[in-house]
Amino acid sequence: MQTKTILSVSKFLALLGGIWYSILCGSQILTLVASFINSDWARRTYEVNLDIFNIREHNIGYYVYAMCLIIATSALKAIIWYGVFGLLLKLKLQTPFSMEVEKKLERIAFLLLGVWLVSGVFWKIYIYYLAKETAIQLPANSSGDEYFFMALIVYIISQIFKRGIEIQEENQLTV
Amino acid sequence: MPIIVNLDVMMAKRKMSLNELSEKVGLTLANLSILKTGKAKAIRFSTLEAICKVLDCQPADILEYKEN
């Protein structure tokens, strides 16, 4: 009963997370597009980081690249939350070991790895070259590395799940 | 899988239907069908023993190893 309640609350939170990151991603895309039409309006509407707008004045290419990384991170996070929501929808406590759930877990692990690559690795490379080329210092994204850790854990869980399904299948096909 | 189940061959030799074998061995039709179609992943010694007893044959008459 308690597990059922926790799962229902998690489902709701996952949906909320997905909607929140979708809105965030949409506002970031809007800011990027608006900044080409009215820079001042974009600066007021969405305060990503005022340094990023300073980069725009310096080099538009660097600015677009930074915004693309920020948008990609938000989009990936939204997809992960929707993935968690989908997984919780498919999860049945009576028969939790199904190939569908395992595939969804594996997909979430790869998406988390994607977040780590975009917000951790690519962002760090970007700010390193930016500092070297323009002397503009952007803050490093500290949350990047945790996503690698999370991706690894979810992937390990998905593999254990996969083995569980195989054992269950073997038991069912033993006569 | 390189293990081939020749249950249908033995059943034909003994002129026994799947229903009859199922009743005599005490195995469900669904499980017997899994075994007959080669979908089974494992077979219990007790099942093999019961099948051999009913069909009056050796385990080698039912199971065969063929390299892929």
ipTM value of the model?
Answer: 0.74
Residues of A with a Cβ under 8 Å from any B Cβ are 169-170, 173-175
Token pair of A84 as six digits? 């968690």
Chain B residue numbers touching A175 (CB-CB < 8 A): 27, 31-32, 34-35, 40, 42-44, 47
Q: Nearest CA to CA, how far is B47 from chain A (Å)?
A: 7
Closest alpha carbon within chain B to A173: B40
A114-128, pLDDT tens digit by residue?
A: 999 998 889 888 888
A33-71, pLDDT tens digit by residue?
A: 888 887 776 666 555 566 677 777 778 888 888 889 989
The DSSP symbol for A95 reads S
Whether the model pTM is above 0.80: no
Taking the C-alpha atoms of residue B34 and residue B43, their distance in angstroms, rounded to an integer, is 11
B12-67, pLDDT tens digit by residue?
A: 999 999 999 999 999 899 999 999 988 898 999 999 999 999 999 999 999 999 88
Task: For chain A, report the end-to-end CA distance as a whole number of angstroms.
Answer: 34
